[in-house]
């Protein structure tokens, strides 16, 4: 008798529960619908891949963010390309218009024969000047690293008032930053013989490229570094004729050293807001090259990080956070 009394009650409860399920499911689905405006905002942060012709050269570039937002121009180093910024770009694109080009001979940009094109830092600055004009970038902040530093600083000498802020990452502008690593390069600069050129070819093999990514990285962060990064760089270096291009650029780097006083005068005169994030274990551009910036930019913010040359590979989120804080404090959106 007791069992028969419970059955109707239990059945009634189960029916009630079953009837409530579609309503609950419908409510949950409705709550997760994303509005068209939100989807459009999310789409603006997607990275876009474009090419523009500057002085007869196809310049490939990555771009993300709203074009009306403050612009951040990312200039890459050796032996890489704009791919070094592949993770940083979407990290910043919700607040900034982020653009990263490849120089000729690097990445997806043109690679003309050296007999038909001058591979030099002066020429790269010419092309970046034309690039910013073509994209109508009248003012922007610059992130410069390695080769990107002399290219960017040459650009700044031409358009000093276009520079809203500087983010400097293992990019040299002082003699103090050229230590023993550069001795073999100085030999070539002093005496441009085949005998002095050939030893530099050793910097263009896959072992050397991997070393640039992994040297100086603490054990705790080595697993953050994707082998795809150096293998992609190496694939571009291994293109027929590319090694000679790189060796020509090694020789031309001496012209950047000659301009160090001009770069330093730009810093002293314009005093752009500056963030310095530097991998202190970098053997190519060691920490000795970071601190001299403070002589000419006493208000610069300096972070020496336990990292190597490619700090974005091992400490990308940390650097992105520092950039956000710095730019939000120094730029008016």
Cα dihedral across residues 240, 243, 248, 253: positive or negative: positive
Angle at 258 between CA 252 and CA 261, to 5 degrees: 145
- Is the pLDDT at 6 greater than 90? The verdict is no
Report pTM: 0.88
Mean pLDDT over the full length of the chain = 91
- Is the pLDDT at 126 greater than 60? The verdict is yes
Cα torsion through 175, 123, 139, 330, rounded to 10: -20
33: pLDDT confidence band, cut at 50, 70 and 90?
Answer: low
**pLDDT (0 to 100) of residue 110:** 98
**pLDDT (0 to 100) of residue 161:** 95
Which of 1-15, 52-66, 137-151, 240-254 has the lowest average pLDDT? 1-15
- Is the pLDDT at 5 greater than 90? The verdict is no
Q: What is the mean pLDDT of residues 295-320?
A: 98
More confident site: 163 or 33: 163
32: pLDDT confidence band, cut at 50, 70 and 90?
Answer: low
44: pLDDT confidence band, cut at 50, 70 and 90?
Answer: confident
17: pLDDT confidence band, cut at 50, 70 and 90?
Answer: very low
Q: What is the mean pLDDT of residues 204-227?
A: 98
Spatial distance between the Cα atoms of 14 and 82, rounded to a whole number of angstroms: 60
Catalytic residue numbers, as ranges: 309
Which of 8-17, 120-129, 223-232 has the lowest average pLDDT? 8-17
Cα dihedral across residues 120, 126, 128, 134: positive or negative: negative
Which of 15-29, 117-131, 188-202, 232-246 has the lowest average pLDDT? 15-29
2: pLDDT confidence band, cut at 50, 70 and 90?
Answer: very low
What residues contact residue 73 under an 8 Å CB cut-off, 6+ apart?
99, 100, 132, 137, 140, 141, 142, 143, 152
**pLDDT (0 to 100) of residue 295:** 98
What is the set of domains in the chain, with CATH numbers?
Answer: 38-330 (3.40.50.1820)
Instruction: Report whether 272 contacts 166 (CB < 8 A).
Output: yes
Q: What is the mean pLDDT of residues 146-162?
A: 97
Helices 148-158 and 121-134: crossing angle in degrees, nearest 10, is: 60
**pLDDT (0 to 100) of residue 30:** 47
């Amino acid at each position: 008798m007791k069992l028969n009394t419970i059955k109707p009650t239990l059945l009634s409860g189960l029916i009630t529960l079953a009837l409530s399920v579609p309503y609950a499911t419908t409510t949950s689905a409705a709550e997760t619908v994303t509005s068209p405006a939100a989807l459009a905002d999310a789409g603006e942060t997607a990275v876009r891949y474009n090419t523009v012709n500057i002085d007869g050269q196809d310049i490939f570039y990555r771009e993300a963010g709203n074009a009306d937002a403050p612009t951040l121009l990312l200039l890459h180093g050796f032996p890489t390309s704009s791919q070094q910024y592949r993770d940083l770009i979407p990290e910043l694109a919700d607040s900034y218009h982020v653009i990263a080009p490849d120089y000729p001979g690097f990445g997806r940009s043109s690679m003309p024969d050296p007999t038909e094109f001058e591979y030099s830092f002066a020429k790269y600055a010419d092309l970046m000047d034309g690039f910013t004009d073509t994209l109508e970038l009248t003012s922007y902040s610059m992130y410069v690293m390695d080769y990107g530093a002399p290219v960017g600083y040459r650009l700044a000498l031409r358009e000093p008032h276009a520079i809203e802020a500087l983010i400097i990452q293992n990019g040299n502008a002082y003699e103090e930053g050229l230590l023993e690593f550069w001795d073999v390069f100085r030999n070539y600069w002093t005496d441009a013989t085949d005998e002095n050129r050939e030893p530099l070819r050793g910097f263009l093999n896959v072992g050397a490229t991997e070393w640039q990514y992994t040297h100086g990285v603490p054990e705790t962060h080595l697993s953050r570094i994707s082998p795809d990064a150096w293998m992609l760089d190496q694939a571009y270096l291994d293109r027929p004729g590319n090694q000679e291009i790189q060796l020509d650029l090694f020789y031309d780097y001496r012209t950047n050293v000659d301009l160090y006083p001009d770069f330093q005068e730009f810093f002293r005169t314009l005093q752009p807001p500056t963030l310095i994030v530097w991998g202190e274990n970098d053997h190519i551009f060691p920490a000795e090259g970071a601190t001299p910036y403070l002589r000419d930019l006493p208000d610069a913010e300096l972070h020496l990080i336990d990292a190597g040359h490619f700090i974005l590979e091992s400490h990308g989120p940390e650097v992105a956070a520092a950039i956000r804080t710095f730019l939000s404090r120094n730029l008016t959106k």
